[in-house]
């Protein structure tokens, strides 16, 4: 099963006005490993034409990327006001 199909099973209340995780593109540009693309279990980080692309909408709020990024690019905050992922089972 593809990760995209697995993510499509999830319910999100997406916060359109607030991105709870932001990255610093200038740091990512020179990143030697892009470990985030391997570690993030929701494939929020991917390389598109060698440029790091990040989407917060699919995030399951595990916090992995904040540990994974050893270059200081990731700024991690909790989602606000009940936004974000909503599990059925957990």
Q: How far is CA 81 from CA 15, 23, 88, 90, in A?
A: 9, 22, 18, 19
Q: Does position 87 bind other proteins by CB under 8 A?
A: yes
Selected from 25, 41, 51, 57, the binder of other proteins by CB under 8 A is 41
Selected from 42, 53, 54, 73, the binder of other proteins by CB under 8 A is 42
Which residue, 11 or 26, has its beta carbon nearer to other proteins?
Answer: 11
Q: What is the CA radius of gyration of the chain?
A: 13
Helical spans, DSSP H, in the chain: 3-7, 25-29, 36-39, 64-68
Segment contacting other proteins by CB under 8 A, of 22-30, 49-57, 63-71? 63-71
Selected from 10, 22, 47, 75, the binder of other proteins by CB under 8 A is 10
């Amino acid at each position: 099963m593809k990760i995209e199909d697995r993510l499509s099973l999830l319910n999100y209340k997406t916060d359109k006005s607030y991105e709870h995780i932001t990255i610093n593109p200038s740091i990512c540009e020179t990143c030697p490993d892009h470990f985030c693309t391997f570690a993030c279990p929701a494939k929020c980080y991917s390389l598109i034409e060698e440029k790091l692309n990040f989407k917060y909408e699919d995030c399951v709020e595990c916090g992995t990327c904040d540990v994974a990024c050893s270059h200081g690019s990731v700024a991690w905050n909790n989602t606000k006001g009940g936004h974000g992922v909503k599990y059925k089972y957990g």
